Chains A and B, each alone.
Chain A
Amino acid sequence: MFEKVFVETAVKDHPRTLHILNKLKSDPVLIGSIEDYFGRVRKPYLQKRDNLNLFIGNKKGQTVKEAPNAYGLAGDPHFYFVHSYNCIYECEYCYLQGYFNSPDLVFFVNHEDMAKEMELIISKTPKDKTPWFHAGEFSDSLALSHITGEISFYFDFFKAHPNAKLEFRTKSANTREIEKMSPLSNVITTFSLSPQERTLKTDKSCPPASTRILSMQKLYKAGHPLGLHFDPIIHTNNLYEEYEQLIDDISEKIPLEYFEYVSLGVVRFTKDVYRQVQLNYPNSDLLTEEFIKPEDGKIRYPGSLRKNILKSIQKLCIEKGFVEDKVYLCMEE
Chain B
Amino acid sequence: MQLLTFAHRGEAKAFFEHLELEAIDGNTLYKFTDGLVLIMGEGVFDPLSKVSKVLALYPEISEIINLGVAGALNPNLNKDEVIQVRSSYLELEGNPQFHSFTMRNRDLPFKKEDCLTSSRRVLSKEQAQKLLPFAGIVDRELWAVARANKENKLPMTSLKVISDIPSEESEQICQVVKESALKLSTALYNAWSQIDGDQLQPEEKVSIPYFDQFHFTRSMSSTLQKRCHQLEIKFPDNKLEELIDFNSIVESEMRPKEKAIQILDEMNRLINPYRISVEERLKKLTHGLTSTGLTCSFDPHLEKSNLHIKGTFSNPNELKKVSEQLSKFDFEKMKSILEGDDRV
Contacts and interface: CB of A to CB of B under 8 A. Distances in A.
B31 interface: no
Interface in A90-128: 101
A312 interface: yes
Interface string A296-311: 0000001111111111
Interface of B: 74, 86-87, 89-90, 96-100, 102, 112, 114, 129, 132-134, 230-231, 233-234, 271-275, 278, 299-304, 337-344
The B contact surface, by secondary structure, is: mixed
Contacts of B342: 308
A292 interface: yes
Contact of B98 (A42, A44, A292): A42
B232 to A, nearest CB: 8
Contacts of A290: 271-275
B86 A51 contact: yes
A304 B234 contact: no
Interface in A256-306: 283-285, 287-288, 290, 292, 294, 302-306
Interface residues of A, number: 37
B100 A308 contact: no
A47 B301 contact: no
B340 A284 contact: no
27 contacts: A29-B129, A31-B133, A37-B134, A38-B133, A40-B96, A40-B134, A41-B98, A42-B100, A44-B86, A44-B100, A47-B86, A53-B133, A101-B98, A287-B233, A288-B231, A290-B272, A290-B273, A302-B274, A302-B302, A303-B302, A303-B340, A304-B278, A304-B302, A304-B303, A304-B339, A305-B340, A310-B340
A4 interface: yes
A325 interface: no
A304 B337 contact: yes
Interface string A33-69: 0000110111110010011010100000000000000
A31 B133 CA distance: 9
Given A290-B274, A302-B302, A303-B301, A308 B344 contact: yes
B127 to A, nearest CB: 14
B63 to A, nearest CB: 19
A275 to B, nearest CB: 15
Nearest to B135: A41
Contacts of B275: 290, 302, 305
A218 interface: no
A283 B233 CA distance: 6
Contact of A41 (B100, B299, B300): B100
A40 B89 CA distance: 10
A40 B90 CA distance: 11
A306 B300 CA distance: 14
A294 B100 CA distance: 30
A308 B340 CA distance: 4
Given A6-B133, A31-B133, A288 B341 contact: no
A235 interface: yes
Interface in A200-215: none
A306 B233 contact: no
Given A43-B87, A304-B278, A311 B341 contact: yes
B92 to A, nearest CB: 12
Contact of A303 (B87, B133, B134, B338): B338
Contacts of A303: 299, 301-304, 338, 340
A278 to B, nearest CB: 11
B98 A40 contact: yes
Given A305-B340, A308-B343, 16 more contacts: A41-B89, A41-B97, A44-B87, A47-B87, A53-B133, A283-B233, A287-B230, A288-B234, A290-B273, A302-B275, A302-B278, A303-B338, A306-B340, A310-B340, A311-B340, A311-B341
A29 B272 CA distance: 52
Nearest to A237: B273
B107 to A, nearest CB: 13
Interface in A165-208: none
Nearest to B299: A303
A292 B271 CA distance: 13
A50 B112 CA distance: 9
A158 B304 CA distance: 43
